[in-house]
Each structure stands twice: as structure tokens, then as C-alpha cells.
Amino acid sequence: MKRQLTHENTLKVKPLGIDTYREHIIFMRSDCNICLSEGFAALTRLVVRYGSKSIVATLNVVHSDLLQEHEAGLSDMALSRLEVTAGDFISVSHLKQIESLSDVRSKMYHHKISEEAYRRIVDDITKGLYSDIEIAAFIAGCAGDNLDDEEITWLTSAMVNSGATLSWKTQMVFDKHCIGGLPGNRTTPIVVAIVAAAGLTIPKTSSRAITSPAGTADTMETITNVNLELEKLKEVVSLEGGCLAWGGSVNLSPADDILIAVEKALDVDSAGQMIASVLSKKVAAGSTHVVIEIPYGESAKVRSREQAMKLERCFKAVGEAMHLNIKVLITDGSQPVGRGIGPALEAMDVLSVLENRKDAPTDLKEKSIMIAAAVLELSGTFEQGKGSKFARRILEGGKAYKKFKAICMAQGRFEVPAFARYNTDIKSEVGGRVTSIDNRKLARVAKLAGAPHDHSAGIYFNAPIGTKVKPGQVLYTIYAEAKGELQYTLDYVKSAGPIIKIT
Amino acid sequence: MKRQLTHENTLKVKPLGIDTYREHIIFMRSDCNICLSEGFAALTRLVVRYGSKSIVATLNVVHSDLLQEHEAGLSDMALSRLEVTAGDFISVSHLKQIESLSDVRSKMYHHKISEEAYRRIVDDITKGLYSDIEIAAFIAGCAGDNLDDEEITWLTSAMVNSGATLSWKTQMVFDKHCIGGLPGNRTTPIVVAIVAAAGLTIPKTSSRAITSPAGTADTMETITNVNLELEKLKEVVSLEGGCLAWGGSVNLSPADDILIAVEKALDVDSAGQMIASVLSKKVAAGSTHVVIEIPYGESAKVRSREQAMKLERCFKAVGEAMHLNIKVLITDGSQPVGRGIGPALEAMDVLSVLENRKDAPTDLKEKSIMIAAAVLELSGTFEQGKGSKFARRILEGGKAYKKFKAICMAQGRFEVPAFARYNTDIKSEVGGRVTSIDNRKLARVAKLAGAPHDHSAGIYFNAPIGTKVKPGQVLYTIYAEAKGELQYTLDYVKSAGPIIKIT
């Protein structure tokens, strides 16, 4: 009881309506006797409890009359995580030393750390015990070639164990994944539609954009609901054989989503973390057979064929350790796929392919067929080389589109996205032929325009490699939902140097 | 002008009295037309301008009536950096892409980066363009053996160039530094007093604690003023030949202080960063001859003699490249030096040695004499082996204490610190002899008790290795300024396992 008195300290909650995003903040008066008796200072991290729930929050000290005595403010996220409202009494105490941080330090020093260490770290991250800078340090410590296959496997299973796992009635459960880095490479919805139409089970959960202008979940969200509860997701799959949901909403590998938020802020996505991120989601989703696409190109995420093959080897090694049947496709990443870059614009490409429209981008169509074929062949029911013909028939016969709409309806709605309010054309100053494209700069243009945060923002791309262009011809159109973004994006385009090389 | 309209946006400042420590926060209404037109979201980083001043701040979105339309709140630090008050109009705009972050990313991937890259990174950090997670990523990227000598030299000179540099009339300017990791190793004030009394110039600037319970600046602050303006510092040195100031207050290598704040939060202090941190301060302070102490021991910052020699080699290589004359002393780091651990308690040890009191800790005295001797010999005016005798005479003759008081008075005050309000004895449960001490755990106990934040908090240590102890004998006393800290520290001591091994 004495311990209770000196250790736990209760304060009355006053919501301040401050949104600090993912990081929990607690606001306390500088003269509050808890601050004094416990000796808290700015940036101190505290444990905040309400009933059985508890979070770790960073202290912001208030010197004004924003708070009355015995009151504490909480950021929006902290309020909802604790499920408290005005007047509730929370208790505040010191954060005990987080043991797993010593594992993070030894990883920063490039030592190999144990399976238990990865479990400790991932558990603490999932519990919300890490501050963003501590997460950043862990991410940086795992960057480069700093994780060997065994460590990646340990990190993967730790991430799987950090959240829910799905199980399915069918023996074979399929999935596909593209490691990204290629703007507009939105094959997933088409592949899922073809594979599900072929009668296979493909419960696809996708992530939102990490460093790209759009993730599959962002794109699908412009067409249907992707935040599906676990039960809803299972219902959709048992109904249609496939789904196109956001992974985060079903709590698969939740640690991964926390890591991704910081990776995004740092604009990094390193091999070990990426493989663990991808495979942990697959294992948690109950997949048994996975096709992984690795596009490579000068300005893609993977720069060379050698690098791509190194990744392939690592994916297979870790996949085997996780009992996954993996096929890797190394593809051309020299330029964007399709025309749209950004959630809504990519969704339009997807729909045009599924509808078999004449103006549908053939590169996106052919690539989707190739991947779908790989999945069909991986199932063993189609021999090598036969998958492609079958996949094409399903797509061109309209079965895929029918299945896609059915999946969307099962997920709650089917709608065709619209263009953003503001747009401007980027025209070629010279004449000639497009010889190369800087995907990174192009992706940055789309991001500055607002993608993925603004769904209809991004780029509509008109100049694939080989295109003959006249001076004044439109190379691409930038779409934005706000004038400020558009103006700012144009400033970047002016200062960025050549994005599309014409000679 | 149009650009002005779409790009710059003015808001009226409303101070909210919120202290977010070092990180700048701007609070803006979610419905404010700037948020809408520019499409800002939570965690967006913005450039905030007032007149010629500008800072980068992280956006917190406000959903309540905390702010009226066209109002923006700023955290305390942001207010003072911009020198704005209620009613002033600030302008807010997008943060342009920070180019140097791509250098940080390639360092995270363990690539060697260029001299220019280090300059870019350090300049941007000094300008306050980096968020804490970006700084954390850079620190982690530099951890371990990730920097070669050349890179450390580049980082060092970039840090030197990031701030002010001092120059002195005398040709030889001396300095000493201990890389720390050893609780209570507070030789600096004694060494400076001896060296200055010997007539040499030693303008000592020290850092505050990084991961230890006290830095020399923290300790000296309990006796005198350490936040000296540049002019004041020069005045003290020309008057007394030496000073004992805090490095941060004279803006030497300011980037280092920003890095240190995050290193402290991460509780890391890696070789490359450490050497750059130490030597950049020395070069900026105008030093020509530097004695560096590297204590090693099982639980010291440096674990083995091999590691210490590796550091010595690196210190000398980088020092040579920076035109510094360096002597390294590798010392015993198996246990604390002196009795006090924590700012005020270490200050008491220092004073007892200077006053030649009978109860003064001999280990601290002898170590200080050894280091002072090395400095005297480095000056060339004393041949090898003769320095020690001379240093002892200065100390025991009272000249050092006289000089120390003179320096303190020149810095503004001389006072003897007091003990903290609360204390409790940690007694031995068994009898026997002390065979080993876990310095890290001991340091943590002092930190949990409140050191260095609470000046008089820490540990008074009674059980050096070899001490015979009876059951119930006091091993050390914990001092704290707040009951909560004391209780919490005791909980840790109970759960930490053996800190002092008795057999």
C-alpha cells in the first residue's frame, strides 16, 4: 500500500484535443506534486494506467493554466488507447528500464543477437514501450546486410507471434507480393481477381505505402472498404475465395505496422526488415504458397539483377525456415507500370485492365497475367507454361472483372474513383525519344502532390521508355487536392533536374 | 508574389506554455485553411518563420478550441528560438526535402560517405533541420566500427566548423579528457587546478553527462557557474590560466550537443561518434596538447585492454589528422574512483582532495596527480617521470586549491554543495571481501536516484574492491531529492541482482 502511495499517482483526465499521431503524449503541470515528488522532467517517459489498460507516454510539461491542479491532458491517440474521457482518473508512474533496449544497442554495434532478443524487442515494440527514436535506432541497426538469414527468420517469427494468425479450411492458401519501389506497379488486384476466379484461395492482405506514393491498400481503398474486421475478412474469403484488405486492420504482425510508420518517416526499407515484414504477414495470414516479385532497375528499389538474386536467395532461405513454398519472379523495373501513380490513378488503371478496355495499359495487363500464371502453376494443378494461357482466358473472358466486383461488394462497396481537383501538365521542352526514367524522382513528385495521403493526388504518366516526343508534348499530368501541394510540387519539378531523359 | 500567397501562410502566435524540451512543436487547428490548402497532417514537419529567423517544427493538429481561427501555438523552445510572443505573426511553409538525409541513409547501409556528406549532415543538424528520429538513425548508422579513421576525421572537422572556435595568445594550449564510463571519476577539476597553478594554459570546457550520472560540467555547476559567455571564459583564462566551463554555453561544436541529447536518450556512445565529439571540442577550444584517459574494466565503457588500445590508435590517428599532440593514458576501470557518484557528491570528493583532507579519497588524488603529470610532461618543460613529483608538490602544497578557488571566483561564485534531502543505506547481507563491482548497475542506481538532473542526488560509495565487510555493514548510501525517486531506486536495487560482489 505504501508502494501504492509513493508509486502510483492519480490525475483527472482533461482531453485537450491535440493529435500527436502515433506517439502518446501526457501533459502535466510543472507544479503538479507528482512532477515534483517524482522529479519528472520534459521528455520523461511514463506509464499511464486506467483500469487494466496501460500505455507508455512522453511527458510534456505545462507552464500555463491549460490544466488545473490534479489534471492531466492526453493526446488523442492516448485517450483512445486507454479508452478514457474527461473526468476519468488515470494513474501515472515511472517507466521501468526496458531490458530489450540493450539488445537494440548490441544490434546497433553490429553483433548478432539471439532469437529471444528479437522476441523481447518485438514484444516491447508491440506493447508500445518504445519511443520513436528507439524504434529508429532498431531500424537503423538492422539496415544494410546487418541481419543474417537466421536473424531475419527470428525477427519474422517474432513478428508473426506479435499478433493474430489466420487459418483456413483449404490445404493450399496462395498469396503474391511485390517488394515495390516501382511506381504504379498495381498488379495485385488483377492477380487476386484472376486467381480467385480460377477457384484458388487467395486471402490477400496488403500494406499501405511505406516509401512509395501508394500501397495496394491505399489503391483499393478508393474502390472499396479495406479496413475489414477479422470475421468480415474470413466471410469475404469463404464467399469469394479471395479478398483485398488492409493487413493492419486484421492485426496481422502489428509490430510490423509500428516499424513501417518510422521506416516511412526515415524513408528507408532495408532487406532484412523488408523480408521479415513481408513473410511475417504471409505466415500470419496462413499462406502456404507465395509468389514474390522483385522488380529491378537503375532507379527501382533494387538496383541490379545481382542484388535481386541476392534477395531471391534470402527470401527462399527464410521462407523455407518458415515452411513457405516460395517462387520469386525477377522483373524489369526500369520504368513505371501502367499510367497512374497514386491511389486513385492506379485504381483507374486496374479497372481499365479488368474491364478489358482498349486504352488499358498493356504492360500492367501482361505483368498481371504473368504473376497470376506463376501462382496457378505454383498450385501444381497447371503445368509449367500452361498457367499463362489460362490466366489470360479468365481475364479477357471477363471472369476476373466479375470476381473483382464480387469481392469488392462482399467487402462493402464498389465505386469508381474520381480525379483530383487540381492538375497541371508537364510538357517536354525538347523533341526526341524517351531513353530513361528516374522512378525515385517520379515517385517523389507524386508524393509531394499529396499521394498517398490524398487519395486522388499523383501522376498520370504518358511517356514510357521508347516514346517519341515532340517539343511541348505532355509527358505527365500532376494531380493534387490542394493548390499549395500543386505549387510546391511544381517547384520541386523545376529544381529536381531531369526526371524523364529524352535524347 | 503569387508564390508568396500560395506558399507562405501567416498565423497569429498563441503561447500555450507547453514545454516539449528540445523538439520544436507547432500546434495548428485541423480546420485552419492552411492545413486544408497545404494538406498538412499530424507529424508533418514545417518551416516556421518570423522576420529573418526560421525553425523547423513538427505539426500537432488541434481539434479543440485551444486555438482560435488563424492562431498557431508554439512549444516553449520554439517561441524562444524565434523570439516571438503572443500576437506576433509567423509564417508557415512546407519543409523542402533535406538532401543530406540521403547521406544518412547510405551510412545506415554501411557505405563510406564523403567529407562533403559529413559537412552537409552536420550543417543540417546544427540548423535544426533534423527530427529526433532522423538524428537517431544517423547515430545508429555511425555505431559500432562503422566509421573508418578518415570518416571520423571528416565528422570531427565538420563538427568543429559547425560552431565557434577559440584562439589563444599562448603557443601551447593544454587539455585533458576522460572518455568516461567510470562512476565518480572526477579528476578534471583537480588536474586543471594543478596544471594552471603550474603556469600552463588549460581552458577546460566539459560536457554534461551523456549516459553517466554526472559530467564534469554537472559537477562543477554545484560549486560555481559553468554557463560562461565566450568573452567571460576568455577573461577567466587570461586571468587564471585555466577555467572549468560547460562546452555548450560557448557554442563549441554545437552539433555535438544536439547529437549527445539523442545519444543520451538512446543510452549509446559509440567509438566514432565519441572520438569526433571529444576531438572536435578540443580543436574548437584551440587546444594543441591533449591527454586522453581511457579507463577499461569489465563493466566500464571500454571492456578490455585490447579495446582500449584500439581506441588509443584511433584517437592518435584522428588527432594527428587534426594536428593535435595527443597522449593516451589507459587506466584501471574496474571500480568507481572516489566515493561520490552524482554531481554534488563528486564535487565533495574533489574539494576534499584539493583541501588535502585526511579522509580524501586517495585513488582520486593519485589518479589526478598521474594525469596532471602527463600534461606537464607533454608540455616538454618537464622530462618523463619528473612531472608526477612536481604535480604532487603543487597539490599538497595547497597551490592547486588556491588556484581552484580563484578560477571558481573568476567564474562568478565558489560554494560548497550540500547533501540531498532523502537518503537510505544499502547494507551488506553477507560478510566477506568485495571482489568485483558492476559499474553500470551502480551508475544506473545513481541515475534512478535523480542524477545528474537532481544535482545532489546519487550515491556515496563505501566498498571499493578488497574491502572487508561484515553483515549489515553499509556498502553505499543512496541520496535523492524526491521520495518517489528514492522508492523507485530501491525497487531497482532489489530487482537488479548483485551490484557489489562479496565472497
Q: With b meaning 16 or more CB within 10 Å and e meaning fewer, what string describes B50-73?
A: beeebbbbbbbbbeeebbeeebbb
Confidence of residue A5 (pLDDT cuts 50, 70, 90): very low
Residue of B nearest to A441 (CA): B97
Pick the range with the lowest mean pLDDT from A61-75, A307-321, B6-20, B59-73: B6-20
Residues B374 and B351 in one domain: yes
Summarised one tens digit per residue, pLDDT across range B475-486 is: 999 999 988 889
B68 lies in some domain:
yes
Please indicate, yes or no, whether residues A287 and A392 belong to a single structural domain of this protein. Answer: yes
Confidence of residue B40 (pLDDT cuts 50, 70, 90): low
Give the one of B19, B37, B96 whose C-beta lies nearest to A483's C-beta. B37
Q: How confident is the model at residue A41 (pLDDT cuts 50, 70, 90)?
A: low
**Residue A187 and residue A227 in one domain:** yes
Residue B202 lies in a domain: yes
Q: What is the pLDDT of residues A361-404, one digit of tens each?
A: 999 999 999 999 999 999 988 888 899 999 999 999 999 999 99
Q: Which residues of A223-259 are buried (b: 16+ CB within 10 A; e: fewer)?
A: bbbbebeeebbbebbeebbbbbbbbbbbebbbbbbbb
Confidence category of residue B209, pLDDT binned at 50, 70, 90: confident
On whether residue A40 sits in a domain, the answer given is yes
How far is the C-alpha of B356 from the C-alpha of B436, rounded, in Å?
28
Cβ contact, residue pair B144, A267, below 8 Å? no
Same-domain status, A296 and A178: yes
Secondary structure (3-state) at A111? coil
Residue B157 and residue B322 in contact, taking contact as beta carbons nearer than 8 Å: yes
Burial of B415 (0-12, 13-18, 19+ CB in 10 A): exposed
Beta-carbon count within 10 A of B33 CB: 11
pLDDT category of residue B366 using cuts at 50, 70 and 90: very high
CA distance B32 to B25: 17
How far apart CA B433 and CA B476 sit, in angstroms, is 15
Same domain, A407 and A441: no
Alpha-carbon span A170 to A498, nearest angstrom: 51
Last residue of a domain, one of B94, B125, B157: B94
- At residue B96, does pLDDT exceed 80? no
Interchain proximity A140–B135, CB inside 8 Å = no
Residue B216 is assigned to a structural domain of this protein: yes
User: Residue A86 CB: number of other CB atoms within 10 A?
Assistant: 10
How many helices (H) and strands (E) in chain B? 19, 19
CB-based contacts of B334, cutoff 8 Å, min separation 6: B297, B298, B300, B436, B437, B465
For the residues B211-232, what does the mean pLDDT come to? Answer: 92
Cβ neighbours of A132 in B, within 8 Å: 132-133
- Contact flag A43-B487 (C-beta cutoff 8 Å): no
Helices A399-411 and A188-197 cross at an angle (nearest 10°) of: 100
CA dihedral A232, A238, A242, A245 (to 10 degrees): 10
**What are the tens digits of pLDDT across the range B246-276?**
987 788 888 888 898 888 778 887 889 999 9
Facing residue for A266 by CB, picked from B16, B134, B270: B134
φ/ψ of B274, rounded to 5, equals: -65, -50
Query: Is residue A42 very low, low, confident or very high in pLDDT (cuts 50, 70, 90)?
Result: low
pLDDT at position A3: 31
Distance from the first to the final alpha carbon of chain B:
80
Q: What is the pLDDT of residue B44?
A: 78
Of A411, A432, A451, the one marking the end of a domain is A411
Query: What pLDDT digit, counting tens, does each position of A140-151 carry?
Result: 999 888 899 999
Chain A interface includes B76 (CB < 8 A): yes
Question: For residue B207, what is the DSSP state?
Answer: P
> Which amino acid does the sequence have at B189?
P
Average pLDDT over residues B289-294: 96
The values of phi and psi at residue B82, to 5°, are -85, -15
Look at residue A4 in the predicted model and tell me its pLDDT: 33
Residues A427 and A405 in one domain: no
Grid cell locating B7: 506558399
Mean pLDDT, residues B94-115 taken together: 90
For residue B344, which phi and psi values (nearest 5 degrees)?
Answer: -65, -40
Q: Which residues are CB-neighbours of B486 under 8 A, at least 6 positions away?
A: B422, B423, B424, B449, B478, B480
> What local confidence, expressed as pLDDT, does residue A6 receive?
38
Q: Are residues A79 and A189 in the same domain?
A: no
Q: What is the pLDDT of residue A345?
A: 96
Residues B223 and B340: beta-carbon distance below 8 Å: no
Domain CATH for A233: 3.40.1030.10
* Residue A211 CA: distances (Å) to CA of A145, A208, A214, A452, A498: 20, 9, 8, 10, 21
| Helix (H) or strand (E) run with residue B409 in it | helix B399-411
Tell me, what's the ipTM? 0.77
Beta-carbon contacts of residue A338 (< 8 Å; ≥ 6 apart):
A184, A185, A186, A346, A349, A350, A361, A363, A364, A461
Residue B295 · residue B277 · CB < 8 Å: no
Sign of the Cα pseudo-torsion (A153, A155, A157, A159, in order) = negative
Separation of alpha carbons A320 and A314, rounded Å:
10
Read off the pLDDT of residues A290-305 as tens digits, 9 standing for 90 and up.
999 999 988 788 889 9
Q: Among B52, B71, B94, where does a domain finish?
A: B94
Quickly state the pLDDT bin for A37 (edges 50, 70, 90): low
Does the pLDDT of residue B87 top 70, yes or no? yes
**Quick one: average pLDDT of A166-173?**
92
Burial of A421 (C-beta count, 10 Å sphere; 0-12/13-18/19+): middle
Residue A277 near residue A159, CB atoms below 8 Å: yes
Task: Report the predicted TM-score, pTM, of the whole model to 2 decimal places.
Answer: 0.80
Query: All 3 cell numbers of residue A185?
Result: 506497379
Do the domain assignments include residue A498?
yes
Contacts with B, A 256-275, CB within 8 Å: 262, 265-268, 270
Interchain contact, A38 vs B482, CB within 8 Å: yes
Nearest to A174 by CA among A187, A161, A157, A191: A191
- B19 to A108: CB separation less than 8 angstroms, yes or no: no
A1 close contact with B: CB closer than 8 A: no
- Catalytic, A218? Answer no
Question: Per-residue pLDDT tens for A191-233?
Answer: 999 999 999 999 998 888 867 889 999 999 999 999 999 899 9
Contact predicate A342/A479, CB 8 Å: yes
Chain B: give the shortest CA distance to residue A411, in Å: 28
C-alpha cell, B432: 566477506
Mean pLDDT of chain A: 90
Mean pLDDT of B153-161: 96
Residue of B nearest to A59 (CA): B20
Whether A100 and A255 have beta carbons less than 8 Å apart is answered as no
Give the DSSP letter string of B344-393.
HHHHHHHHHHHTT-TTS-HHHHHHHHHHHHHHHHHTTSS-TTTHHHHHHH
pLDDT tens-digit readout, B488-500? 889 889 888 889 9
Question: Cβ contact (<8 Å) for A60 and B19?
Answer: yes
User: pLDDT (tens digit, 9 = 90+) per residue, A321-339?
Assistant: 999 999 999 998 888 889 9
Are residue A285 and residue A380 in the same domain, yes or no? yes
Are A133 and B63 in contact (CB < 8 Å)? no
Task: Quote the pLDDT of residue A39.
Answer: 58
Q: Say whether both A474 and A375 belong to one domain.
A: no
Which residues of B does the annotation mark as catalytic?
269
Q: Which three cell numbers stand for residue A95?
A: 517507466
Q: How many CB atoms lie within 10 A of CB A428?
A: 19
CATH number, domain containing residue B36: 2.40.40.20
Q: How far is A65 from chain B (nearest CA, A)?
A: 8
Same domain? For A465 and A404 the reply is no
Both B405 and B450 in one domain: the answer is no
Q: Which amino acid is at B136?
A: A
Shortest Cα distance from B155 to chain A (angstroms)? 19
Structurally, chain B folds into a number of domains equal to 3
Cα(A461)–Cα(A447) distance, rounded to whole angstroms? 14
Cβ atoms of A211 and A263 within 8 Å: the answer is: yes
A440 touches chain B (CB under 8 A): no
Kindly state the DSSP code that residue A248 receives in the 8-state scheme: G
Mean pLDDT, chain B, rounded, equals 90
| Domain-embedded: residue B261 | no
Residue type, B52: S
How do residues A394-442 score in pLDDT, each as one tens digit?
Answer: 999 999 999 999 999 999 999 999 999 999 999 999 999 999 998 888 9
Indicate the burial class of B450 (C-beta count within 10 angstroms; 0-12, 13-18, 19 or more). buried
pLDDT in tens, B324-355: 999 999 998 888 889 999 999 999 999 999 99
A457 lies in some domain? yes
Alpha carbon dihedral A250, A252, A255, A257, in 10-degree steps, equals -60
Strand partners, A283: none
Residues B75-97: what's their mean pLDDT? 90
Whether residue A143 and residue B3 make contact (CB cut-off 8 A), yes or no, is: no
Annotated catalytic residue within A269, A349, A438, A454: A269
Q: Residue B144 and residue A110: Cβ atoms within 8 Å? A: yes
For residue A42, the chain B residues in CB contact (below 8 A) are: 19-21
The fraction of chain B above a pLDDT of 70, given in percent, is 95
In chain A, residues with a C-beta closer than 8 Å to the C-beta of B94 are 484, 488
- Checking DSSP bridges between strand B474-480 and strand B458-461, what pairing results, if any? antiparallel
* Cβ contact, residue pair B39, A94, below 8 Å: no
Please provide residue B439's backbone torsions phi and psi, each rounded to the nearest 5 degrees. Answer: -60, -35
Chain A positions in Cβ-Cβ contact with residue B39 (cut-off 8 Å): 450, 453-454, 480-482, 484-485
Contact with chain B for residue A80, Cβ under 8 A: no
Residue B479 belongs to what domain range? 422-502
CA gap B189, B37 in Å, rounded: 57
Q: Does A454 touch chain B (CB under 8 A)?
A: yes
Q: Are residues A382 and A436 in the same domain?
A: no
Note whether residue A398 is domain-resident: yes
In this structure, what CATH number is given to the domain that contains residue A437? 3.90.1170.30
